[in-house]
Structure formats: structure tokens, C-alpha cells
């Protein structure tokens, strides 16, 4: 999609075509037939632009929920955009910090601008891509939100007049997605300079702890059990060293290094009546022992992110299982034990062992009527199979 086609899409004629494309897709019209129908109304390029927007809006529902049908996207910018619930959490932190103005240095299609503007923060965004800038501007207008967006190089923008600067560097190289900070755009050196002031930078959740500058808070965020990102909070916005935030149907919960007594305090212990599988954000933040302390438990192994306890606890930071029994770890004996229990449908969870759940399930060839969950892991260095049930 080029800039002229997108600007045309915002005209009355373009909006009518977009509405027709939306109706055709909603009716279940096959793509080829929908494209033919639209090309009878306009040029092939504009027909393709309208159909692409409908398809992108459908994909965007997973990130933007009920806002998606009113927004505009490009394929690559949608992939990079923050999920709305995560962006709203970040905007809430910015508002709680007291930010009244925010600049988004590399705003993409404006997802973070939408979240921040919705809290009442006065927002401005810049991006090098004129199409993304036009899309971001259209999204703010479509949702009735204020904000200014312009084409500019984030690394040359004077952002000293804003209370908070936000950046989401592109993590791609010529070969595709990259996990090397040297491949980021803008580069890591610029990110470090930004983190010398009140700022927030979205980074990949796999960022090494050692790379986080001193006095910068690293927050790992998961949404519905899936780790989505890490955010680096700098200047006065940094309140702790490490934080894990989990967002789910029940709301939001956060745990920090200040609540972590460390491995020495919780220790390694035998498997008790309950097993806890920490959320991925907790694991990335290095706060497994904080969860262990919270459930009055310990680790099953010093190198494995499973926690065990004698009593049941409900925690937003881990999935909880009741331990029913220990089964044989060797495959032949495990197969016999599962068949004796009439188990045919099996969920296999594993951590710290070299096992492919899919391949193992196929080799077990179970055919019973019962359903079960087993955990394959190491306990005090030894391979162990636990029969568990969620609670």
C-alpha cells in the first residue's frame, strides 16, 4: 500500500469501497470473487488496498479487540504493534508517574499513542515511514483521540520538552527478526542515551539481564500466559530493578525483586502435594523464588523453574497443580503405568529434560478413556514423572 492509495481510502469514495469490502468478507464471499466485485467499482490497486485493510482488521482483533474494526494497519506495523491490554498497562504506568505529555519515537501505526491518549496524556508521535505516520494519524482520528504525528527521524528529534519519551526499536535485520541489539533501528547506543532520562523503551523479552543499564527497571509482561515484551523504565519512572507483570481475565498483578528472598531462603525440597509452574514473565524476570516464597514452598531443583509446596495456594504468578503421584520416568514403565490407569488423552508438560511431548505421546500410543496431565522434569537432578491435575 502506498501513501496515495491510503489517503484515497480515507475519502468518502474510499470509505464506501472499504464498507463494501467489509460486507463482502462478512458474507463469506471467497477472496477471488470479492476482489472481482470490488475491481468493477474501482482500480485493481484500490480494490486490493480495501481488501487488505479488511483482512488486517480481522487479524488485529487479537491485539486491539473491539477497536480493530475502526482502525487502519499495515502488515509489518501490525506485527510489531503492542497488544492493547499491554499498551494500556504501560500508559497507566506513565499516567501514574505523572506524565502529562509523551512523545513516541517511532510510533508505527499509533497503537501506543492510542493507549496513552486514552488516559488523557497529551501525545505526539514521529516515524520515518510516511505511510505509518498517515495510518497513525488516521487511527487517532477514527477513535476520536487527540494527538500530533509527523514524519521525522527519532534519533534527531528534540524530546526534552516532553515528560516522558517512549520508543519501540525495530528488531529486524535484512535476514528477518533479530535478537541482536546491534541490529535494532534505532541502534542500542541510541537506546542507552534515551535511558539516561525519564523514558520507557519496549524491548524483546529475551533481553539479557546484564544488558540492562544500572538504575533502569526491567519489566517483563505477559498477557493470557504469553510473554509479550519487556519494558525498560528509566529515570524517575524506575522504581525497582526487576518486575514481572501478568495480565489475564481477572485483571493485572505484579511482583518485583523486592519480594524475592532469593534461592538460599526458599531452598530446594522434595516434591510436596502441590506443584506450581511460574508464568513466563516471572521466569524471564528471574523471580521464581519470589513465587516460591509467596506459596510457602521451595524449588524442586536449583536449575528448574518449578515450585512445590505442601498446601494449595492461588497465585496469579503460576499455574497450580495437585500432585497425585510419582510415576516411573523410564518410557516403557511409564507407558505401562498410564495404561493401567486407563489414560488415553494425555497432556505432557516438561521442563529441564530433553523430551519432545509430541513424539513421546505418539510412542506411548495410549487408548484409554481417562484424561490426565503428567509433568516431566528433574527433581534434585533426577528425571521425574509426576501425575498431576490442575486446580
The reported pLDDT for the residue numbered 181 is: 76
Within a domain: residue 118?
A: yes
Average pLDDT in the 120-139 region?
A: 97
**Would you say residue 378 has pLDDT above 80?**
yes
Within a domain: residue 73?
A: no
Report residue 210's pLDDT band, with 50, 70 and 90 as the boundaries. Answer: very high
**Would you say residue 173 has pLDDT above 90?**
no
In this structure, the answer to whether residues 88 and 208 fall within a common structural domain is yes
What is the Cα–Cα distance from 19 to 51, expressed in whole angstroms?
10
In this structure, the answer to whether residues 219 and 101 fall within a common structural domain is yes
The reported pLDDT for the residue numbered 112 is: 97
* pLDDT digits 0-9 by tens, 47-68: 999 999 999 999 999 999 999 9
In this structure, the answer to whether residues 282 and 375 fall within a common structural domain is yes
Average pLDDT in the 150-171 region?
A: 94
In this structure, the answer to whether residues 85 and 193 fall within a common structural domain is yes
Q: Are strands 101-105 and 164-167 parallel, antiparallel or unpaired?
A: parallel
Within a domain: residue 66?
A: no
As a whole number, the mean pLDDT across the chain is: 94
C-alpha pair distances (Å), 142 with each of 25, 69, 70, 123, 334: 21, 10, 6, 16, 58
**Would you say residue 14 has pLDDT above 90?**
yes
The reported pLDDT for the residue numbered 175 is: 53
In this structure, the answer to whether residues 137 and 269 fall within a common structural domain is no
Q: Tell me the CATH number at 158.
A: 3.40.50.150
The reported pLDDT for the residue numbered 170 is: 84
* pLDDT digits 0-9 by tens, 216-262: 999 999 999 999 999 999 999 999 999 999 999 889 999 999 999 99
Within a domain: residue 146?
A: yes
DSSP assignment of 341-372 equals TTEEEEEEEEESS---HHHHHHHH----SEEE
In this structure, the answer to whether residues 242 and 136 fall within a common structural domain is yes
Domain encompassing residue 111: 78-254
Report residue 178's pLDDT band, with 50, 70 and 90 as the boundaries. Answer: low
Average pLDDT in the 25-53 region?
A: 94
Report residue 148's pLDDT band, with 50, 70 and 90 as the boundaries. Answer: very high
In this structure, the answer to whether residues 7 and 26 fall within a common structural domain is yes
**CA end-to-end span of the chain, whole Å?**
49
The reported pLDDT for the residue numbered 380 is: 87
Q: Are strands 298-299 and 318-327 parallel, antiparallel or unpaired?
A: unpaired
The reported pLDDT for the residue numbered 174 is: 52
Which of 168-182, 278-292, 339-353 is predicted least confidently?
168-182
In this structure, the answer to whether residues 116 and 45 fall within a common structural domain is no
**Would you say residue 69 has pLDDT above 60?**
yes
The reported pLDDT for the residue numbered 172 is: 61
Instruction: Indicate the number of domains in the chain.
Output: 3
Which of 95-109, 178-192, 256-270 is predicted least confidently?
178-192
In this structure, the answer to whether residues 214 and 247 fall within a common structural domain is yes
SS3 assignment, position 296: coil
Q: How many Cα neighbours within 13 Å face the side chain of 369? A: 0
Within a domain: residue 65?
A: no
**Would you say residue 391 has pLDDT above 90?**
no
Amino acid at each position: 500500500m502506498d501513501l496515495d492509495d491510503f489517503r484515497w481510502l480515507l475519502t468518502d469514495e474510499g470509505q464506501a469501497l472499504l464498507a463494501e469490502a467489509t460486507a463482502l468478507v462478512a458474507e463469506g464471499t471467497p477472496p477471488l470473487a470479492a476482489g472481482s466485485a470490488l475491481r468493477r467499482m474501482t482500480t485493481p490497486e484500490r480494490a486490493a488496498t480495501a481488501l487488505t485493510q479488511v483482512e488486517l482488521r480481522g487479524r488485529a482483533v487479537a491485539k486491539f479487540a473491539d477497536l480493530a474494526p475502526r482502525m487502519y494497519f499495515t502488515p509489518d506495523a501490525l506485527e510489531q504493534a503492542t497488544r492493547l491490554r499491554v499498551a494500556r498497562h504501560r500508559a497507566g504506568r506513565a499516567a501514574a508517574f505523572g506524565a502529562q505529555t509523551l512523545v513516541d519515537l517511532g510510533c508505527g501505526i499509533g497503537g501506543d499513542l492510542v493507549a496513552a491518549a486514552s488516559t488523557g496524556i497529551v501525545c505526539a508521535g514521529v516515524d520515518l515511514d510516511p505511510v505509518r505516520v498517515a495510518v497513525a494519524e488516521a487511527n487517532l482520528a477514527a477513535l476520536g483521540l487527540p494527538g500530533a504525528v509527523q514524519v521525522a527521524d527519532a534519533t534527531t528529534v528534540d524530546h526534552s520538552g516532553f515528560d516522558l519519551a517512549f520508543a519501540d526499536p525495530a528488531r529486524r535485520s535484512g535476514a528477518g527478526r533479530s535478537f541482536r541489539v546491534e541490529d535494532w533501528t534505532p541502534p542500542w547506543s541510541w537506546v542507552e542515551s534515551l535511558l539516561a532520562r525519564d523514558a520507557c523503551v519496549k524491548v524483546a523479552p529475551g533481553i539479557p539481564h546484564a544488558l540492562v543499564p544500572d538504575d533502569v527497571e526491567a519489566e517483563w509482561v505477559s498477557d493470557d500466559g504469553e510473554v509479550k515484551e519487556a519494558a525498560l523504565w528509566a529515570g524517575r519512572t524506575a522504581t525497582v530493578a526487576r518486575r514481572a507483570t501478568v495480565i489475564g481475565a481477572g485483571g493485572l498483578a505484579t511482583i518485583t525483586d523486592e519480594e524475592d528472598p532469593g534461592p538460599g531462603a526458599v531452598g530446594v525440597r522434595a516434591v510436596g502435594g502441590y506443584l506450581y509452574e511460574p508464568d513466563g514473565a516471572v521466569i524471564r524476570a528471574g523471580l521464581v523464588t519470589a513465587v516460591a516464597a509467596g506459596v510457602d514452598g521451595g524449588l524442586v531443583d536449583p536449575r528448574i523453574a518449578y515450585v512445590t509446596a505442601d498446601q494449595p495456594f492461588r497465585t496469579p504468578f503460576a499455574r497450580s497443580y495437585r500432585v497425585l503421584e510419582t510415576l516411573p520416568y523410564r518410557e516403557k514403565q511409564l507407558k505401562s503405568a498410564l495404561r493401567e490407569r486407563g489414560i488415553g488423552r494425555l497432556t505432557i508438560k516438561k521442563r529441564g529434560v530433553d523430551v519432545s511431548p509430541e513424539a513421546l505421546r505418539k510412542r506411548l500410543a495410549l487408548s484409554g478413556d481417562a484424561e490426565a496431565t503428567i509433568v516431566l522434569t528433574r527433581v534434585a537432578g533426577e528425571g521425574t514423572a509426576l501425575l498431576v491435575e490442575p486446580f
